[in-house]
Amino acid sequence: MPLIMVTNDDGIQSPGLRAAVAALDGLGEVVVVAPRDQWSGAGRCMPATSEGRIYPEVLVVNGRPVRAYAVEGTPAQVVDHAFLEILPRLPDLVVSGINYGENVGSGVTISGTIGAALEAASFGVPALAVSLQTPIEHHLGYSEEIDFRAAGHFTRRFAEAVLRRALPFDVDVLKIDVPASATPETPWRWTRQSRQRYFVPVRPMRRRPTDPGPLGYRVEVDFERLEPDSDVYALVVDRVVSVTPLSLDLTSRVGEEVLREWWDRAQWG
């Protein structure tokens, strides 16, 4: 029976996490290992201050108990604790999400949802990072007003595919972003990550630099320069589900001859 680990960055109490577990019901043995606390925006960070305490939990999903663990630490650290201490073996699949809020554009490495998926992939475990477009005011909460049914449908659909057949070489994570208006019948398409930022930081409003000044953010899209094959375009223009293959290899795709030409010009003007 496949072993499937479900995690997230919103914390173990998130309704989005429960929705992912419910969607995966029957595909294998599902174990939840998730942060004890809210870690949105943590990326793949590994702060030395995390103490890594592990607390067994029981989640009831679809009327049945699901083995679960809450871990003190970031999403990426949670994956490490799961693989090194909790699970009997490496899982066949890690599902990170379902996240409150879309993860698109050039800021995707900020996401703890994606950070957990990339950390799993670094162990050779295929991963899904699933996010649902939601209003910003819900990103750090556990609103029960959010309908995760469509996102759950696509979570299951792609989990089935990955369990049935290994991902192609250089595809380590499938990043799935579901529009707020989606239904199970909404089309999906392959996309690439936009080079646009999407979530743009907002300057803090304070009188003195020593006053508290947490950064906010807003959505900002330059539609004139938006790439038609991008995750942002699929989500906000065509309102379809975006599925972006991600690689652990961050090497630029520029050819060596371009680099040599650039170097020569830089040396001689």
3-state secondary structure of 143: coil
Residue 113's alpha-carbon distances to 16, 85, 130, 178, in angstroms, are 12, 21, 8, 14
Separation CA 220–CA 242 (nearest Å)? 18
Q: 64-78 pLDDT, tens per residue?
A: 999 999 999 999 999
Structure tokens at 49: 């201050």
Task: Enumerate the β-bridge partners of residue 65.
Answer: 60
3-state secondary structure of 218: strand
Element of type H or E holding 173: strand 173-178
Q: 132-172 pLDDT, tens per residue?
A: 999 999 999 999 999 999 999 999 999 999 999 999 999 99
Assess whether pLDDT exceeds 80 at residue 36.
yes
User: What whole-number percentage of the chain has pLDDT above 70?
Assistant: 100
3-state secondary structure of 210: coil
3-state secondary structure of 236: helix
Tell me if 5 sits within 8 A of 31, measured CB to CB. Answer: yes
* Residue 268's pLDDT band (cuts 50, 70, 90): confident
| Average pLDDT in the chain | 97
Pairing of strands 64-71, 188-190: unpaired
User: Which residues neighbour 262 within 8 Å (Cβ) at sequence distance 6 or greater?
Assistant: none
Structure tokens at 31: 């174990």
* Residue 24's pLDDT band (cuts 50, 70, 90): very high
User: What whole-number percentage of the chain has pLDDT above 90?
Assistant: 99
User: pTM for this one?
Assistant: 0.96
* Residue 58's pLDDT band (cuts 50, 70, 90): confident
Domains of the chain: 3-195+227-268 (3.40.1210.10)
